[in-house]
Copies of this chain bind each other. A is one copy, B any other.
Amino acid sequence: MRHWKENIRKVAPYVPGEQPKGMDLVKLNTNENPYPPAPGVKQALKEMDYDPFRKYPDPTASDLVSALSQYYQVGEDEVFVGVGSDDVIAMAFLTFFNSELPILFPDVSYSFYKVWADLFQIPYETPVLQEDFSIRKEDYYKANGGIIFPNPNAPTGLFMPLEEIEELIAHNQNSVIIIDEAYIDFGGKSAMELTKKYENLLVVQTFSKSRSLAGIRIGYAIGHPDLIRAMNNVKYSYNSYTMNMPSLILGVEAVKDDKYFKECLDKIIKTREEAKVSLSKLGFIFPDSMTNFIFASHKERRAEDIYKALRENRIFVRYFNLPRLDNYLRITIGTEEEMRQLFAFLEVFLSN
């Protein structure tokens, strides 16, 4: 082996979720929003001028930061923005998780945490979820280099009440705690208000799910100005200009239109609750989801078989071939029509 190859960083190649192409498919596999972005996004795109693209974008992303600070009623110095919440969380790992002590996150959780920890050579431990997939907060009452978990958790969909979150934080004042709220808008209560009380709490959210802008790549974090400043210092030491002009312009529009935002959320929540009834009738069991997906297991049929049958019929759901998860399907909540197609197929398939 050539000597330079020895110095290549060793990572387990991460394989992103499948993005099938084509029109005649029902895509319920990556938790995208079935409704289009806000009308203001359409309008801003129509009015966008191409000439300014020759210049660098605003490195401070001030318009977007300002829109978020107004929306959440926090200071502009309490807002960090990045290229999707993956970028935001990666920056947070790099910025805050530099202890010799292991960071902690649930064994069943967003699979990227382990990947980032490996990439940045951060030691970690993964407390095991309880039998019902809930997080046992006492598992996090030990010396650690940091804590991260999604709330609601993924792929379980389970929400942890704010009182428990606060207890967990109160027990951890020596490390940074990141709550990854990618799915919070679908019915959970954000821990954002706790950032005023706990300066070691960082709350991360995204435009990819509830705001229908996965293709534009915007994530953000809210926290104490000391946390945000430290993250910005690292970000500017990595890439000063991460957010491009279209994302800055369109992101502002998505935040502005709260009426449309809430209408879409209401529709998705309604469809989700109806889907729970339908899934139960079909013999599925599932943790009670507060997200835009349901993590379901069938009482009699193997998840992998259902997954494959759906796939052959151009209905895509997510299947994780992992211990404890390999008899579950993660089904994104689509439009009413998409869910109708899903259930129409399942009804026939499961009765055979």
Residues of A within 8 A of B (CB): 2-5, 7-9, 11-17, 19, 27, 30, 32-37, 41-42, 45, 48, 50-59, 83-84, 86-87, 90, 94-99, 115-116, 118-119, 145-146, 173-176, 199-200, 208, 212-217, 226, 230, 232-234, 236-247, 250
B32 lies within 8 A of A56 (CB): yes
CA distance A55 to B83 in the complex (A): 15
| B residues less than 8 Å from A15 (CB atoms) | 236
A183 → chain B, closest Cβ, in Å? Answer: 15
**Contact sample, A vs B, 21 pairs, CB 8 Å cutoff:** A4-B174, A7-B145, A8-B98, A9-B96, A11-B233, A14-B233, A16-B236, A16-B240, A17-B56, A19-B56, A27-B55, A30-B55, A32-B55, A36-B51, A45-B48, A84-B239, A86-B241, A116-B238, A215-B244, A216-B246, A244-B247
Which residue of B4, B95, B244 is within 8 Å of A175 (Cβ)? B4
A217 lies within 8 A of B57 (CB): yes
By Cβ-Cβ distance, the 7 closest A-B pairs, closest first, are: A16-B240, A3-B174, A215-B245, A54-B212, A246-B246, A53-B215, A14-B236
> Quick one: given A237-B118, A242-B217, are A176 and B4 in contact (CB under 8 Å)?
yes
B7 lies within 8 A of A175 (CB): yes
B50 lies within 8 A of A42 (CB): yes
CA distance A237 to B99 in the complex (A): 21
Among A59, A98, A241, residue most surrounded by chain B Cβ atoms (within 10 Å): A241
> Quick one: given A3-B174, A200-B2, A237-B116, are A54 and B214 in contact (CB under 8 Å)?
yes
B86 lies within 8 A of A239 (CB): yes
CA distance A19 to B246 in the complex (A): 17
Which residue of B3, B16, B54, B247 is within 8 Å of A35 (Cβ)? B54
| B residues less than 8 Å from A118 (CB atoms) | 237
> Quick one: given A56-B214, A244-B217, are A230 and B32 in contact (CB under 8 Å)?
no
